[in-house]
């Protein structure tokens, strides 16, 4: 489907206060159990861990955390099990602390909460991750549709439950077509293509902003960020933005018919915790785009916030750093009628 460039729509969008624009995050919320060890164990050996902690995780929950810390208005939509793990996280206050809106959480009858076990060695910066999300009911599509009417900005989806995500993305595209006829604001949709799975490719032409992870790019045989963006462009929607973060090499992005823009990485003096770094980049980049910043400034901000995050444990101590980085964003210039293309949206999982 073609994107739609309309000055009236852009003016209405920019008339909204950036701090009040709602951002919908659809995807996984899980319990992360992180164990730190001196070195990765060998088979049939025993060792004590140096530290262990529980924290809320999952792509969409992490995005909501970062957006909330930055001062945005995130809405989380997803399915979680009504289990003792949920009670534990509520007792910690992690939902409210990181501005995860509980109104749209769908409680599953399952007794098993999605969990991720991370084994982190003090000798290496990246943890070993094992995910388990069995028994949780899938997203209820009927809960998504009314929430869309309260979303006036960006819908962010994670490519996993492809059939469900595809249906939601197509629904947003149809919604946007009707909005355009009424000269009303459309919802911009972004999707993350992360895992090495061929079925994710069908989500690419449905999104306005496509985040392509390094894992997926290498699975497809792409050699670097530029190569990835050029190849993904072939399957993308007209007018879509392609963004490709590449770890320690930073990130690159491109709008259609525009030059490639890039940002270096901003590593901390000491790498402490890389868990959730990609979600942090995505959330911070979406935040900057939502405020009207240009693509280069947005991915640079994303790289800066992600760099600050990996230098700290979790997100609890990140608030003051994020506030400083947020205040350092350049001012936004009012766009002309040729600056921005508004299109349809959708993508995600849960």
Q: Convert the pLDDT of each residue in 2-33 to its tens digit.
A: 333 333 344 444 444 555 567 888 888 788 88
Q: What is the pLDDT of residue 239?
A: 92
User: Are the beta carbons of 13 and 185 closer than 8 angstroms?
Assistant: yes
Q: What is the pLDDT of residue 344?
A: 28
Q: What is the pLDDT of residue 105?
A: 58
Q: What is the pLDDT of residue 14?
A: 46
Distances (CA, A) of 183 to 57, 152, 342: 38, 14, 12
Q: What is the pLDDT of residue 198?
A: 92
First and final C-alpha spacing in the chain: 25
List, for the chain, all residue ranges whose pLDDT scores fall below the cut of 50: 1-16, 93, 95-97, 99, 135-137, 334-350
Q: Set out the domains of the chain in order of their start, with CATH numbers.
A: 7-327 (3.40.1190.20)
Q: What is the pLDDT of residue 181?
A: 86
Q: Which residues pair with 254 in a beta bridge?
A: 242
CA distance 265 to 84: 39
Angle formed at CA 189 by CA 184 and CA 190, multiple of 5 degrees = 160
In this structure, is the dihedral angle defined by the CA atoms of residues 268, 293, 167 and 68, taken in order, positive or negative? positive
Mean pLDDT of the chain: 77
Q: What is the pLDDT of residue 277?
A: 93
CA distance 75 to 61: 9
Buried b (16+ CB within 10 A) or exposed e, 5-44: eeeebbebbeeeebeebbbbbbbbbbbbbbebbeeeeeee
Q: Which residues pair with 255 in a beta bridge?
A: 241
Residue 183 buriedness (CB in 10 A; 0-12 / 13-18 / 19+): exposed
């Amino acid at each position: 489907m073609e994107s739609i460039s309309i000055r009236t729509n852009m003016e209405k969008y920019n008339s909204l206060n950036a701090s009040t624009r709602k951002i919908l995050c659809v995807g996984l919320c899980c319990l992360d159990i992180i164990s730190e060890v001196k070195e990765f164990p060998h088979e049939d050996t025993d060792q004590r861990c140096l530290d262990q902690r529980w924290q809320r995780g999952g792509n969409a929950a992490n995005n909501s955390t970062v957006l909330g810390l930055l001062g945005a208005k995130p809405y989380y939509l997803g399915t979680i099990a009504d289990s003792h793990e949920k009670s534990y996280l509520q007792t910690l206050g992690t939902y409210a602390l990181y501005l995860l809106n509980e109104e749209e959480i769908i409680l599953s009858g399952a007794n098993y909460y999605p969990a991720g076990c991370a084994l982190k060695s003090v000798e290496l910066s990246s943890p070993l991750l094992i995910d388990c999300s069995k028994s949780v009911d899938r997203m209820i599509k009927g809960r998504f549709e009314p929430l869309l009417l309260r979303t006036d900005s960006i819908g962010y989806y994670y490519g996993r439950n492809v059939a469900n995500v595809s249906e939601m993305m197509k629904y947003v595209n149809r919604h946007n077509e009707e909005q355009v006829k009424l000269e009303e604001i459309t919802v911009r949709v972004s999707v993350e293509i992360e895992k090495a799975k061929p079925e994710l490719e069908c989500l690419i032409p449905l999104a306005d902003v496509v985040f392509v992870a390094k894992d997926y790019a290498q699975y497809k045989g792409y050699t670097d960020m530029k190569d990835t963006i050029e190849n993904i462009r072939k399957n993308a929607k007209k007018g879509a933005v392609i963004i490709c973060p590449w770890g320690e090499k930073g990130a690159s992005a491109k709008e259609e018919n525009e030059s490639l823009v890039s940002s270096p990485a901003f590593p901390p003096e000491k790498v402490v915790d890389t868990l959730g770094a990609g979600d942090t980049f995505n959330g911070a980049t979406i935040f900057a785009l939502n405020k009207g910043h240009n693509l280069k400034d947005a991915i640079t901000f994303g790289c800066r916030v992600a760099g600050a995050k990996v230098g700290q444990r979790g997100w609890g101590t990140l608030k003051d750093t994020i506030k400083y980085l947020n205040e350092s964003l350049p001012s936004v210039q009012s766009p002309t009628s040729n600056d921005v293309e508004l299109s349809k949206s959708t993508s995600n999982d849960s």
